[in-house]
Amino acid sequence: MENSTLKPMDSEQLREYGHQMVDFIADYYKTIESFPVRSQVKPGYLRELLPDSAPKHPESLQDVLNDVRQKIIPGVTHWQSPDYFAYYPSNSSTAGFLGEMLSAGFNIVGFSWVTSPAATELEVIVLDWLAKMLKLPNEFLSSGQGGGVIQGTASEAILVVLLAARDKVLRKVGRNSLEKLVVYASDQTHAALQKACQIAGIYPENFRVLKADSNTNYALIPDKLQEAIMNDFSSGLIPFFLCATVGTTSSAAVDPLSELGKIAKANDMWFHVDAAYAGSACICPEYRHHIDGIEEATSFGMNAHKWFLTNFDCSVLWVKDQNALIQSLSTNPEYLKNKASQENNVVDFKDWQIPLGRRFRSLKLWMVLRLYGLENLQSYIRNHIKLAEQFKELVCSDHRFEVVAPRTFSLVCFRLIPREGDQDNGYNLNYNLLDAVNSSGKIFISHTVLSGKFVLRFAVGAPLTEESHVKAAWKVLQDQATILLTDQ
């Protein structure tokens, strides 16, 4: 194809290539179990396989897809494999995929209402729907001062609320008090908060990481928080931000929102609740109690892209006071001015996030909610939790292993019990087990450290996972454990 004849968006070519690509992806899902779950390539593998520079002349789609098969797929870790149990899930689904496709199809950049009214309005509506499914307090709905917004990730959600909270308190106490502002969270809080503090200019010595241990199943202790706040006040510091987690990254611990929230409120602090993973489970009445106390929160976030069948990325954030975000993040350059924004009766999501540009991500969530419906989504979550419980029982039935934290949602934390007198308390033993199972390519799990113990994490949540996969995964773990223990 000569330059002058390039038709980059020809609808007939899109139809033809698009069908081929959908077939390619559908075949990928059909054969996904045949690939090693965790990619087994070595760093730099791809440079040896691809040319040094981009082609001068066009190549065929078939050639590119052949390269995907032969060169790219070996370097892919298959997060959608039914044998994937690492970190937390990152769900895809047909509905999420279709929404993603449609979003790519429109390819709008919806930073202000006027740049695509449907993008803003659908986002507002869909996040109200989801807030109602979670039974969030009405203050988080768009009908009042609050509302929801889709961010790329939970990290961005935490950053924007931290910035809003920082600026809110600085407006009150004066801009030169930044060095006095204190942030609180447990040591189980995701590192996204630390990064947000770094970006927001919070003084590192004012980031209070409160220890949570097995006595509270790794939940933050309200008395510890209270004590830390009192100490800081008496040192002339200004406590202003608390982050609690529902479903911590290491062990899915749940911080006690009601008590923590009351302390935050009494001290006029912003209270953010990060439910990136476990928030999805709270659409089930029997798990909703994990966010009891959410009425005390100033903001609440969950990742629809983790365990809610919405393809990455789609991290949902609700705030009670949208003005706090806007006051921190709004800019109004001449080249973006428009009648609707100036009349002040539309939402401009550019003022609720870090970047200007934003994709039409609500289409994905809308598709998921409409094509599946609440009841199917609830059964989806329940099934994973049931499978995790079955896995836990398998672990408990083998005397060589122990479960090291309660299974609250679909995550099981466990380890091989070290021999008495083991020098590193089972660190190497479990590290080697992790390495062996992941190198086998049969399953992929991850790890953490809890109370100094090297712990294996088995997170059920990939959309294709069934009971047979969980049982097979357990067999892989048992067999590798037998090999390791015999070699010891």
Q: What is the DSSP string of 41-58?
A: PPTTTTTTTS-SS--SS-
Cβ–Cβ under 8 Å, residues 262 and 393: no
Show contacts with ligand PLP in window 41-100 (CB under 6 A): 88
Where does this chain touch ligand PLP (CB under 6 A) — which range of 152-160, 196-204, 355-363, 371-379?
152-160
Q: Closer CB to ligand PLP, residue 90 or residue 480?
A: 90
By CB under 6 A, name the one of 136, 149, 169, 192 that touches ligand PLP.
Answer: 192
Stretch that binds ligand PLP, among 218-226, 271-279, 329-337, 359-367 (CB under 6 A): 271-279
Closest CA to 280 of 81, 84, 134, 387: 134
Residue 278 Cβ vs ligand PLP, minimum distance, rounded to whole Å: 8
Using H for helix, E for strand and C for coil, what is the string for 158-179? HHHHHHHHHHHHHHHHCHHHHH
Binds ligand PLP by CB under 6 A, chosen from 232, 274, 296, 351? 274
The answer to the question of residue 410 lying near ligand PLP (CB under 6 A) is no
Subset of 91-120 contacting ligand PLP (CB under 6 A): none
> Applying CB under 6 A, which of residues 166, 190, 359, 457 lies at the interface with ligand PLP?
190
Please report which helix (H) or strand (E) contains residue 273, including its range.
strand 270-274
Instruction: Considering the complex, state which of residue 90 and residue 112 has its C-beta at the smaller distance from ligand PLP.
Output: 90
The token duo for 239 is: 């406590």
Find the binder of ligand PLP among 37, 197, 276, 363 (CB under 6 A).
276
CB of 141 to ligand PLP, least distance (A): 23
Give the helix/strand (H/E) hosting 274: strand 270-274
Give yes or no for residue 232 binding ligand PLP (CB under 6 A): no
Contact 211, 224 (CB under 8 A): yes
Told to check if 155 binds ligand PLP by CB under 6 A, we report yes
Taking the least distance from each CB to ligand PLP, the nearer of 394 and 434 is 434
Among 154, 183, 257, 462, binds ligand PLP (CB under 6 A): 154
**Under a CB-based contact definition with an 8 Å cutoff, are residues 145 and 320 in contact?**
yes
Closest CA to 112 of 319, 363, 299, 345: 345
Residue type, 333: P
Minimum CB distance to ligand PLP smaller for 249 or for 465: 249
In the complex, least distance from residue 238 CB atom to ligand PLP, rounded to whole angstroms: 25
Give the number of other CB atoms < 10 A from CB of residue 64: 11
Taking the least distance from each CB to ligand PLP, the nearer of 275 and 368 is: 275
Smallest separation, CB 231 to ligand PLP (Å):
27
Least separation in angstroms between CB 408 and ligand PLP = 13
Q: Decide if 140 contacts 318 (C-beta within 8 A).
A: yes
Quote the strand ranges of 110-235, DSSP E.
Answer: 147-151, 181-186, 207-210
Decide: 300 and 264 in contact? Cβ < 8 Å: no
**Does 448 participate in binding ligand PLP (rule CB under 6 A)?**
no
Q: How many whole angstroms separate alpha carbon 383 and alpha carbon 284? A: 12
Residue (of 156, 155, 95) closest to 126 by Cα position: 95
Give the interface segment with ligand PLP, choosing from 153-161, 283-291, 338-346, 347-355 (CB under 6 A): 153-161
Instruction: Select from 11-19, 70-78, 244-252, 319-327 the region that touches ligand PLP (CB under 6 A).
Output: 244-252
When asked if residue 255 is in the footprint of ligand PLP (CB under 6 A), the reply is: no
Number of chain residues interacting with ligand PLP (CB under 6 A): 15
CA distance 431 to 427: 6
Residues that bind ligand PLP (CB under 6 A): 88, 153-155, 190, 192, 245, 247-249, 274, 276-277, 303, 315
